[in-house]
Chains A and B, each alone.
Chain A
């Protein structure tokens, strides 16, 4: 069951790319995600203005579809006169950074716990299942808000808090996947050949549960992006003047009644990014996870 996804030899890589392209949802998701990643990576080259530059003489300029628009600011400016298009583009960096870092941290914790519980079973499994159950009982939003408020709000703290909270689903999926792989012949063969336990887990089990990990971690990245936006919206996420989309909605919400675009633009970008990631996650599930195991 080692899929083409894991061993991209020349021919199977080509076959896999064909499979990806024939999956419409996955293709659309990859294109949308690609555009946003491109925006984030090349932000300094793409932006017309410095996203932090304030110009109080040019506050609240409307976007291009308004007759009073200023051609120098295509999407207008915010209440501090900062170019909205530039802030939108830089905002992609924060969301993607959050999504990726939280995915890595929660992926490490969740995979570690899931592999141990699934491989050893018995008491180890009981203990880890208990930890997962406890974690599920803890309301993520409340704890994340409290930690950020009590310790301090910075991008790093938000990443750490979300990463250390959001491993539960990854652990559950990895545990179930490991249990299935554990009973397969090649694991028994490796055990019989006298391979050490860490070697079996890392060399035999992990590569075979990796496809499921990619799928569930993708979904978690999307949910982490939404959580950061919600925390920043409530004023307990990343700090101003960082152009986080959630924070931009929060800063603009007092003006939304006469300048709806100031919340509509960052809100739509968030939805688009999360939609793209979910499409990629669902598409990958269709392609690489055997039926009935998702």
Chain B
């Protein structure tokens, strides 16, 4: 197990390092940073002055190592648009994104687990078909369009929740539902498959033979088994949520990392974009790492191969 952990940790570290290199060079190649730093209407001399004062005339590899060295001490430079340190901006917004992601995950679990259980117990029944319908719609309906429909109904017509913003918990309801809806099908599928398997197993049959009621067998014995892979899947899906939150946070003007990413991109605020890209990548790597370790801990076959 220790060997497996170390191997996975090393890979995760290498991936993070590689992403940092990619994000640095990608953004440097996409435009002249000195022009962006000097701001609009800067004269040619100003741009050259900025270039030398910020060390942008040095070879890219030197600049990257310099950036990495500062990043290691927590200094990611200043935002060009917001004029404040990147770290402060991110620390400011990350809370909202964490709340949104967890609320979306909670929604997906609250919808996916019962539907998965019921569609396994009543295979081919109404709920099984409903679950399939939810999955098919989720695959085809654009998430921003779904968000607009919910806004039309629940924010504009019914006025139950606000249209946009992030001041109160009510502001998080619609964005969490939209984000959560799109990660519900994997939970339904994995719970359904687990339940179908578990219901066939000997210990469940034994429990039934002992005269336990069907509901009790399903809930106590089969569900406990079917829920095991849900823990690891939550980690992976949480990683996927972060990427999707850019579109959804922007639609709802929810002041989190995704909205900050959108604002930094539209204002060509590359220091912020670069750090958010790196942060999202590292979070994804860590979450999938945790998921893999949980899986390996549960299933010894994984850590041997």
Contact = CB atoms under 8 A, between A and B. Distances in A.
A226 interface: yes
A260 interface: yes
A146 B281 CA distance: 15
A234 B276 CA distance: 18
B22 A256 contact: no
A147 B270 CA distance: 11
A263 interface: yes
B261 interface: yes
Contacts of A275: 136, 139-140
A286 to B, nearest CB: 15
Contacts of A235: 266
A234 B262 contact: yes
Contacts of A98: none
B16 to A, nearest CB: 8
Interface residues of B, number: 45
B97 interface: no
Interface in A258-290: 260, 263, 267, 270-272, 274-275, 278
Contact of B262 (A133, A145, A249, A272): A145
B102 interface: no
A202 interface: no
A257 interface: yes
Interface residues of A, number: 39
A139 B140 CA distance: 20
Interface stretch (B53-61, B143-151, B192-200): B143-151
A267 B151 CA distance: 15
Contact of A233 (B31, B144, B270): B144
B247 A271 contact: no
Interface in B287-302: 288
B148 A271 contact: no
B246 A142 contact: yes
A79 B16 CA distance: 46
Give the dominant DSSP class at B's interface. helix
A138 interface: yes
Given A150-B270, A271-B140, A138 B247 contact: no
Which of A133, A236, A272 has the most B CB atoms < 10 Å from its CB? A133
A246 B281 contact: no
A285 to B, nearest CB: 14
Contacts of A260: 152
A226 B285 contact: no
A230 interface: yes
A265 B142 CA distance: 13
Given A150-B27, A271-B140, A139 B148 contact: no
Interface string B224-250: 000000000000000000111011001
B49 interface: no
Nearest to B137: A271
A185 B162 CA distance: 64
A282 B253 CA distance: 36
Contacts of A6: none
Contacts, number: 124
Nearest to A136: B284
Interface string A124-153: 000000100110111111110111011100
Given A138-B277, A139-B277, A275-B136, A263 B145 contact: yes
A253 interface: yes
B243 A141 contact: yes
Which of B14, B139, B273, B288 has the most A CB atoms < 10 Å from its CB? B139
A229 interface: yes
B79 to A, nearest CB: 15
Contacts of B288: 136
B18 A271 contact: no
A271 B137 CA distance: 8
A137 B14 CA distance: 12
Contacts of B161: none
Contacts of A253: 148
Interface string A43-56: 00000000000000
Given A150-B270, A230-B144, A274-B139, A142 B261 contact: yes
Interface string B264-279: 0110101001001100
A150 B139 contact: no
Nearest to B141: A271
B217 to A, nearest CB: 29
B11 interface: yes
Given A141-B244, A149-B265, A270 B277 contact: no
Contacts of A130: 11, 14-15, 18
Contacts of A146: 26-27, 30, 265, 273, 277
Contacts of A140: 243
Contacts of A145: 246, 261-262, 265
Given A137-B281, A146-B265, 16 more contacts: A130-B18, A133-B11, A134-B19, A137-B15, A139-B281, A142-B276, A142-B277, A143-B277, A229-B144, A230-B142, A246-B144, A257-B156, A267-B148, A267-B149, A270-B142, A271-B141
16 contacts: A134-B19, A136-B288, A137-B16, A138-B19, A139-B246, A142-B277, A147-B26, A150-B265, A226-B143, A230-B143, A230-B247, A234-B247, A270-B142, A271-B145, A274-B140, A278-B140
Q: Which 10 A-B pairs have the closest CB atoms?
A: A139-B243, A267-B145, A150-B30, A275-B140, A137-B281, A274-B140, A271-B140, A149-B265, A139-B280, A137-B284
